[in-house]
Structure 1
């Protein structure tokens, strides 16, 4: 009669020599990380110069450009705020940037949707005309644009400048919307039409919510462009009460004097709202990327 063999213990079940896991970290990866770190530090050098010199006196900027301030002049920001009338110019920049973004998103999304869904030769030609407009240099149309805007009464007004941004921003925005719109199945829109939805309802209730990833991208690109733009506002806005932040910063540089201490402090004040915008939009950016990847 055979006797039952005892069960092996936990120590006997585990192998004496565990296979070592292969390390995923390699020399090549380490070199890439070091190169990326060096590249990031190089890109941060201009920000260091702007930030450190914004706390220096005018004489200290010229004698000690690369070093830290000998005396931290926080009063530069107070003087720059008052000289720029920063509260007013900040409000002007916000109104123009938000208004231009809103009108670009509304009109360009609808235009791209119509161009994609209308499969004719005319719609293809119109799309390529929008794309071709992106390669026209702004400097080549500055004088005719200034003359025409004066004749139409568009100068010295928010809406005149916003209308100009719609014209110059339509090419890239329609191009991006057009490419993204092709990934949206037409069957969704056809089902909505069968259920009794109008063309207006199909776009705003069905199509436009699906455009959230590319809409966030377009808003970010246009915000960077419009907020930092100097040339177009300098042509359109002559009134001192309508100046944007770049225009107000420019007036620290006169014909005979250059107030670098106040100008650099003004630059930092203009950068801070953009940083806050990116921190506030960070969640939306991540959601846009993830929703676009699983759509």
Structure 2
């Protein structure tokens, strides 16, 4: 009786989870199915399967949005922002974790507090400061902006992970004559690999899909990112859903491959930084 009740309960849970999974997958179905329909067919019934697969939507979207250029812009922003954030944040977190002075503890508290400030609250001051330093309409300029916006979260994750590394490892390296920079780059930084993969993945997901910051910093057409370019297909009188959905699928593919390749490191990095620290 207990076995039968347990199996019945487990079956109900599995059915509920399957239904929940289908609900989460429904948006992906709508995007994929409608990306190969013409505009009229989307308006008639967006939930139906396509009668004819119109792959020319992808070709047309590639040409209209100058997708090669927008893809290059998104890649440059994401790659260089992550490189800078990893270097700056890992070194800063190492210093904050290994030198717990009153000033460093206060500085860490400031970084943590900055994480709860919404971007909309600092959007106008950020644009003014970016204009003063000539960062508007510049790929390096938006990379610097991402440094400022992402550094708090990245330092928070790194410093928790650094605290989990035994201090005796550094002492042994110093006894062998290793310099402070040598200790960090040769001993500590390689041990930060799980957290480095985690912060790169999380920051990449945000930067790649970000619309608001690129739309206010990169105003020239040849500097648009993928999300800003897709938004140009929607206007006051026309909404080109067929091209927009095809472009959306193309924009998801690179970051999806990147995510699937590195997803196993997410839980490892976060749990190591949060629990051990």
What is the TM-score normalised by the length of structure 2? 0.92
Q: Does 1:226 align with 2:210?
A: no
- Alignment partner, residue 70 of structure 1: 51
Higher helix share: 2
Distance in 2 of aligned mates of 1:29 and 1:208: 45
Distance in 2 of aligned mates of 1:259 and 1:244: 18
- Alignment partner, residue 198 of structure 1: 179
Cα distance 1:173–1:291, how it changes in 2: closer, same or farther (>3 A)?
Answer: closer
- Alignment partner, residue 20 of structure 2: 39
8 Å Cα contact 2:86/2:196 also seen in 1: yes
Task: Determine which of 110, 118, 130 is the counterpart of 1:129.
Answer: 110
Cα distance 1:176–1:291, how it changes in 2: closer, same or farther (>3 A)?
Answer: closer
User: Which whole-Å deviations, capped at 9, do the CAs of 1:253-282 have from their partners, x for residues lacking one?
Assistant: 012111111111111110111122124335
- Unaligned ranges ≥5, structure 2: none
Shift in Å at residue 199 of structure 1?
A: 0.6
- Alignment partner, residue 192 of structure 2: 211
The structure with the larger Rg is: 1
Distance in 1 of aligned mates of 2:55 and 2:45: 17
* Matched pairs, number: 272
Task: Determine which of 240, 248, 257 is the counterpart of 2:229.
Answer: 248
Distance in 2 of aligned mates of 1:128 and 1:37: 42
Q: Does 1:165 align with 2:146?
A: yes
Distance in 2 of aligned mates of 1:27 and 1:221: 39
Shift in Å at residue 283 of structure 1?
A: 6.8
What is the TM-score normalised by the length of structure 1? 0.86
SS at the partner of 1:35? helix
- Unaligned ranges ≥5, structure 1: 1-21
Q: Does 1:269 align with 2:250?
A: yes
SS at the partner of 1:209? helix
8 Å Cα contact 2:31/2:249 also seen in 1: yes
Cα distance 1:136–1:283, how it changes in 2: closer, same or farther (>3 A)?
Answer: closer
Instruction: Indicate the RMSD between aligned Cα atoms, in angstroms.
Output: 2.3
Q: Does 1:116 align with 2:97?
A: yes
Distance in 1 of aligned mates of 2:27 and 2:124: 33
SS at the partner of 1:183? coil
Q: Does 1:179 align with 2:160?
A: yes
Shift in Å at residue 286 of structure 1?
A: 8.9
Cα distance 1:169–1:286, how it changes in 2: closer, same or farther (>3 A)?
Answer: closer
Cα distance 1:291–1:148, how it changes in 2: closer, same or farther (>3 A)?
Answer: closer
Shift in Å at residue 289 of structure 1?
A: 8.9
8 Å Cα contact 2:198/2:270 also seen in 1: no
Shift in Å at residue 101 of structure 1?
A: 0.8
